[in-house]
């Protein structure tokens, strides 16, 4: 048994070295193809899962990634020829904002469709193991977008990358390696801001990146209806999916990301299935917008996100721009095992405490219903109405200002100042109404007489209530198994440039 394993490891090293040579890498990278980390076998548990799902170890793979959900999905081709979901990995850290990468240094993790070949697999990564996403692709270059060395890697540290734990990237790397051994020349990497559902599209309908997101949603839909890797081309600075030769054409269409699109067709079986899905999604989207689905607020000053399973295990951890969880849920997650070793140097995203502090907890919809129209809300504050003036005299201007993250319509409906008295003011008003002989006509001046004093303590209490609870430290690590050899970073994680300086 041991001799067979050794022989297989040697064969794997030779095969990987050969694939790197064919892909045009230099000789020192070839010598590193025998790296022990890069040749770890796929776990028996995952191999068993493949068997249950009618998959072969070396069948092709496809990766989908979602920032908001902070999840990376591995899809694998079954013996029927279609792709099926093999495993979902929580992302330990990603940086930037929802939206595509535009320029070098913007800390953005890329979004779009990319192709990963053997030369992009990096066994010498200072972040344990990694693969290069291939940014910028032809579409990005046509728009003048810049950036380099955008990776999916280990060490849970990111500056424009997608960071996993060392144990996770070892398994993902091994799955990619096996697919190359099976003959796959490159696997597709699809990166999205969120799962492209009608609900998420409605929530982000006012985001300035929506036009780009609708374009890549076409590729998302192609995969959803066919469960096949969509063929990706570019022309006229846009994505084209599953383009084929026109019936009367003598040769396949030639695409250039910056040039006019050639004549092409999309096979009717794919086109009709995608069209039906788009119509269903559009109808659901319109219903959600009509019933007032809150718009996701614009979160400024937050750098990226983290899956809640990791945020729960870090003192004062936050999911940032990824989907969060309630306090009790985070406490429960803190008791579960993390999918890999979390380094003590991890830098979680900072929580956005200011909007949470100003938003009334009993009306959370107002706090999140934000089309981000700050100038319109500011002009409403200057309307000079009775209640606006009264609110400013009462010292409530700060609370109104933070409502710039709310929809203008929602702001107008809750503008009257009496809607935000302190707890003490409401209690005093309720008690005096039941005093014998009390004159109700004097209630309004009585409320306006001393509102400012209790307002400040109330604001302080809200800030304290919204601060994340302390979580126990897991710097020692609590993975699915023992920590992998060499998991510690070669250089401190706060020195990104030096750690990637050797990667070419």
The residues that are catalytic are 153, 161
For the chain, report the end-to-end CA distance as a whole number of angstroms.
38
Q: How far is CA 12 from CA 16, 185, 282, 283, in A?
A: 6, 16, 48, 50
Return the closest-CA partner of residue 136 out of 121, 149, 126, 122: 149
CB within 8 Å of 7: residues ≥ 6 apart: none
Q: How far is CA 439 from CA 424, 430, 436, in A?
A: 20, 13, 9
Q: In angstroms, rounded to a whole number, what is the distance separating the alpha carbons of residues 298 and 358?
A: 15
CB within 8 Å of 105: residues ≥ 6 apart: none
Cβ atoms of 19 and 29 closer than 8 Å: no
Classified as helix, coil or strand, 393 is: helix
Q: Which two tokens stand for residue 79?
A: 């013996």
Peptide bond preceding 136 in cis form (omega within 30 of 0): yes
The DSSP symbol for 220 reads H
Nearest 10 degrees: CA dihedral of 339, 341, 347, 352?
30
Q: H-type helices in 156-298, by residue range?
A: 166-181, 198-203, 210-226, 268-290
Q: Which residue has the tokens 């606006």?
A: 388
Between vectors from CA 8 to CA 481 and to CA 82, what angle results, nearest 5°?
A: 75
Q: Which two tokens stand for residue 68?
A: 């908001």
């Amino acid at each position: 048994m041991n001799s067979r394993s050794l022989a297989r490891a040697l064969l794997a090293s030779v095969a990987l070295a050969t694939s790197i040579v064919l892909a045009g890498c230099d000789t020192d990278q070839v010598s590193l193809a025998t790296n022990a980390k890069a040749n770890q076998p796929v776990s028996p548990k995952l191999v068993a899962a493949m068997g249950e799902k009618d998959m072969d170890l070396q069948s092709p793979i496809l990766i989908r990634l979602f920032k908001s959900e902070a999840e990376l999905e591995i899809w694998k081709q079954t013996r029927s020829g279609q792709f099926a979901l093999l495993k979902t990995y929580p992302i330990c850290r990603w940086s930037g904002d929802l939206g595509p990468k535009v320029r070098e240094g913007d800390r953005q993790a890329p979004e779009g469709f990319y192709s990963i070949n053997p030369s992009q697999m990096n066994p010498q990564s200072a972040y344990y193991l990694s693969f290069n996403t291939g940014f910028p692709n032809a579409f990005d270059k046509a728009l003048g977008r810049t950036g380099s060395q955008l990776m999916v890697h280990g060490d849970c540290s990111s500056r424009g990358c997608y960071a996993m734990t060392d144990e996770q990237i070892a398994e993902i790397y091994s799955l990619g390696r096996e697919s190359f051994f099976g003959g796959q020349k490159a696997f597709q990497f699809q990166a999205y801001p969120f799962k492209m559902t009608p609900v998420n599209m409605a929530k982000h309908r006012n985001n300035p990146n929506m036009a780009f997101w609708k374009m890549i949603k076409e590729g998302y839909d192609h995969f959803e209806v066919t469960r096949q890797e969509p063929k990706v081309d570019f022309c006229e600075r846009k994505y084209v999916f599953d383009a084929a030769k026109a019936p009367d054409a003598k040769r396949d269409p030639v695409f250039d990301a910056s040039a006019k699109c050639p004549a092409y067709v999309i096979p009717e079986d794919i086109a009709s299935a995608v069209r039906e899905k788009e119509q269903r999604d559009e109808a659901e989207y319109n219903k959600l917008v009509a019933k007032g689905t809150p718009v996701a607020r614009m979160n400024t000053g937050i750098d990226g996100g983290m899956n809640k399973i990791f945020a729960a295990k870090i003192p004062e951890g936050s999911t940032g721009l990824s989907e969060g969880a309630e306090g009790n849920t985070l406490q429960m997650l803190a008791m579960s095992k993390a999918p890999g070793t979390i380094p003590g140097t991890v830098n979680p995203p900072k929580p956005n405490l200011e909007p949470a502090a100003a938003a009334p907890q009993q009306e959370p919809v107002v706090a999140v219903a934000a089309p981000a129209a700050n100038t319109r809300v500011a002009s409403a504050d200057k309307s000079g109405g009775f209640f606006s003036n009264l609110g400013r005299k009462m010292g409530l201007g700060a609370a109104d200002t933070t409502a710039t993250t709310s929809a203008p319509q929602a702001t107008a409906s809750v503008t009257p100042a009496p809607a935000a008295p302190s707890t003490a003011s409401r209690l005093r008003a309720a008690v005096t109404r039941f005093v014998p002989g009390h004159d109700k006509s004097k209630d309004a001046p009585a409320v306006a007489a001393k509102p400012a004093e209790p307002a400040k303590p109330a604001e302080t209490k809200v800030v304290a209530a919204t601060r994340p609870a302390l979580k126990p430290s897991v710097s020692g690590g609590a993975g699915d198994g023992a920590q992998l050899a060499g998991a510690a970073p070669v250089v401190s994680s706060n020195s990104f440039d030096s750690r990637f300086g050797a990667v070419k």
